[in-house]
Structure 1
């Protein structure tokens, strides 16, 4: 039985986007491309700074979002969805619609 789960594409997808804040982060980046960390903090006020940083780091590692650091003073960091992350649009929007139904 475990082998079936190991090879399940649905399980793989859920592992990549699992976490209380990953879905909302992806949704915010769909609506606000090239968003800076401070902007994401304002868009997700209930998410702690530490949790936001952790979730962003995991999404970058998964190849879902890209992190761009601009060498300015102060350093500016922005996040955007990669092409792979953009492919999640129908998944995230479908989850949003399903959740709104009750």
Structure 2
């Protein structure tokens, strides 16, 4: 039969193991939080500055007239991978004709 001292020592060892595990987990989360914080601190302002620069550059350098219709097309037609709603011109079928 174990003595009171041995039981107390075993309980303290189990508690120390649990505490060490919890401490390691907390330390990992602190490092993750620190890395996310640093990432946000550096990337968010840089992203905002890039957006501001781009907006100011576009104000002084508008798109050429040939590319203006691209800005006003719906997003679904901008993608080359989007399914086409009309058949291609080379497909068979009737083509609109001018006045005879």
Where on the TM-score scale, by shorter chain, does this alignment land: which range? under 0.3
Where is the strand percentage greater, Structure 1 or Structure 2?
1
Where is the helix percentage greater, Structure 1 or Structure 2?
2
Question: Radius of gyration: which is bigger?
Answer: 2
**RCO comparison, higher one (Cα < 8 Å, 6+):** 1
